Structure 1
C-alpha cells in the first residue's frame, strides 16, 4: 500500500478531519508538499498541531491487521473495487468499510428502497407485490437497515433469493437499531453491509442523513414506499435527484400523513409506480 492511501486511512480515522479538510490535505499531498500539507491547507497552528498529534497515534498496520481478523475490508476511493456510480456523487465517501460479498459492488442494476420506519401493512404488501419481478431481473436492493420499510426490503430480497446491500450509520461495532442487528450480521455473512465510518464509531444523529447519499449513490434509482413530508426518505430522494438518478414513488391514501411525502414527490415529477414493470423499463 502506498503512502498516499496510508495517509488517507489515518485521516479517515482522525476525529479532527472533516471531508473537506481531508480533501485539502490530500490535494497538498498529491502536489508534492508532503509534511507541509496541513500548514498550507489551514492557517490554524493549533488545529495543525492537534491533527498531527492525532495522526501519530494512528497505526495503519495495526488497524489493517485488526480489520482483517474481523473480515472487514477497506475500499478507498482510489481502489478499483470502489463503485463507479458512487464516485460521481457529491462528497463521495473517502473509504468504504465493507463486510460480505464485495462482488456486489460491481453489479450495475441496483435500486434503493426507502420508506417509513413506522410502515403500515400497505407498505409491506407493496414491497411483496413489486419485488418478485425485480429480483427475477437480478436487481440488487439497496437500503439502510432501519426498522420498517428498510428491514422489510432487505428481508424480502433475501427470501426471494436476491441480493441486497445495507448501508449503516456509525460503525460495525455499534449497529443501530438493535432490533435489526441479527439481520445486519446475517447480511455481513451472505450479502453486503457498508459504512463510511470506522467500526468503532458510534452512530450520531447527523450520520443518518449523510448515509442516505450513499444509498442513492449506489443505485440507478430510488423507490420511496410510504414517507411523511419531513423524513429521511425524502432526503434520500433529494440526493438521487441532485445526482440525476430516477426517483420512483408508490402512491398511498390521501387520508393519512404517512404518504404525504410520496405524493409530494409525485407532484414534483417522481415516477408513480403501479407495477414492477414501471421500474424495470427505466433500467
Structure 2
C-alpha cells in the first residue's frame, strides 16, 4: 500500500476518518494515489455515505490537494503525526477507532516518554482536587513521569498547572482543532504548554468545538497513558468515560477517596466500589506500577 503523506493530510483535512475506516478505504482503492480517480458512487459505497456527500468530499479533496499542507502546518508550528510515524503512540492502535493523524504543537518527543499518567476529574473541581494535586504530582514529576490531561476547566487545568509548577512535563489532549482554544480562560495555559510541553489533537486545525468530540478526546487521553488518576467526579461525569476506556485496555485506575456527602465524590467513590485503587499521594501510584 503506497500512501503519500500529502494525500493523507489532504483527505484527512476534508474528511477526518479514523484509522479503522481509513484502512477500509485503502483496502478498496489500494492507495491514496487512486483517490483522484475514485468516483463519488464508489466512495459512497465504501464509506456508507450518500453519493452527494462523497462527491463533495472528492471535490474538496482535489482543491486541498493543490495546497502544500505540510508547509501550512509548519508555518503555524503544527506537526502532523500520521499513524505511520515513529512518534505515533503505538498503544493507540489498540483502540477500536485510532486517529489516522495526530496534530501536535510543542515537544513531540514527550510522546516517546515511556511513563505517562493521566490526571483527570470534574470540571467543577473543588479545593479538594487542588490539595490532591499537591500530594500526587510532585512524586510523579520526581520520577520524570509525564502528566496527561484534557485542558478542561477544573481538575484538568489543575493537573497541567501542577505539572508545570513542580518542574515536570505535561501533555494536553484537545477535543478540537488548534484554531480554537476551549475553554477561553485556558488560552494562556495552552500557549505555555505549546511552548514548553505538548498540545495534541486528532482534529485538523479548523475543526471547532462540538460537545460530542470531548468523549472522543478522552479515549486518546487514556490511550497514551499508562494509568489514570481521578481526583473528583460526579456520577454523571465525563471523567467516567475516560476510565471506561482505560479499563477496557487493562489500565489501572487510581482514585482519591472523597467525602461521602459531596456530589463530586459520588463518581470517585463509585469507582472504588468497582475495584479502583484508592490513593492519597503519588508515591502509592509509583509503588503500584512498580516504576522504581
Q: TM-score, normalised by structure 1?
A: 0.93
What's the Cα RMSD here? Answer: 2.1
Q: Distance in 2 between matches of 1:60 and 1:194?
A: 26
Pick from 206, 209, 218 the counterpart of residue 203 of structure 1.
209
Q: Distance in 1 between matches of 2:161 and 2:45?
A: 49
Offset, 1:260: 0.5
Task: Label 1:213 to 1:60 Cα distance change in 2 as closer, same or farther (>3 A).
Answer: farther
Aligned equivalent of 1:25: 25
Pick from 83, 93, 99 the counterpart of residue 87 of structure 1.
93
Of the structure 1 ranges 9-18 and 146-155, higher mean CA displacement relative to structure 2 is found in: 9-18
Offset, 1:121: 0.9
Q: Distance in 1 between matches of 2:24 and 2:5?
A: 15
Pick from 217, 224, 228 the counterpart of residue 218 of structure 1.
224
1:38 aligns with 2:40: no
Correspondence 1:134-173 to 2 at 5 A: 134-173=140-179
Of the structure 1 ranges 25-34 and 151-160, higher mean CA displacement relative to structure 2 is found in: 25-34
Aligned equivalent of 2:130: 124
Q: Distance in 1 between matches of 2:99 and 2:83?
A: 7
Pick from 253, 262, 265 the counterpart of residue 259 of structure 2.
253
- On the 8 A contact 2:135/2:280 being kept in 1, the answer is no
What does the per-residue CA deviation read over 1:91-129, in whole Å, with 9 as the maximum and x for residues that have no partner? 111111000011101001000110011111111101111
What does the per-residue CA deviation read over 1:245-267, in whole Å, with 9 as the maximum and x for residues that have no partner? 11111100001111111011111
Aligned equivalent of 1:9: 9
What does the per-residue CA deviation read over 1:14-55, in whole Å, with 9 as the maximum and x for residues that have no partner? 148566543321222437993346266257543432221121
- On the 8 A contact 1:16/1:51 being kept in 2, the answer is no
Task: Label 1:42 to 1:90 Cα distance change in 2 as closer, same or farther (>3 A).
Answer: closer
Task: Label 1:146 to 1:27 Cα distance change in 2 as closer, same or farther (>3 A).
Answer: same
- On the 8 A contact 2:233/2:267 being kept in 1, the answer is yes
- On the 8 A contact 2:254/2:278 being kept in 1, the answer is yes
Aligned equivalent of 1:264: 270
Q: Structure 1: which 5+ residue stretches go unaligned?
A: none
What does the per-residue CA deviation read over 1:167-206, in whole Å, with 9 as the maximum and x for residues that have no partner? 0111111100000010001110100000111111111111
What does the per-residue CA deviation read over 1:68-94, in whole Å, with 9 as the maximum and x for residues that have no partner? 111100000111111122222221111
- On the 8 A contact 2:254/2:279 being kept in 1, the answer is yes
Q: Distance in 1 between matches of 2:251 and 2:5?
A: 30
Q: Distance in 2 between matches of 1:18 and 1:250?
A: 34
- On the 8 A contact 1:98/1:192 being kept in 2, the answer is yes
Q: Distance in 1 between matches of 2:204 and 2:31?
A: 27
Q: Structure 2: which 5+ residue stretches go unaligned?
A: none
Q: TM-score, normalised by structure 2?
A: 0.90
1:111 aligns with 2:114: no
Aligned equivalent of 2:56: 50
Of the structure 1 ranges 183-192 and 27-36, higher mean CA displacement relative to structure 2 is found in: 27-36
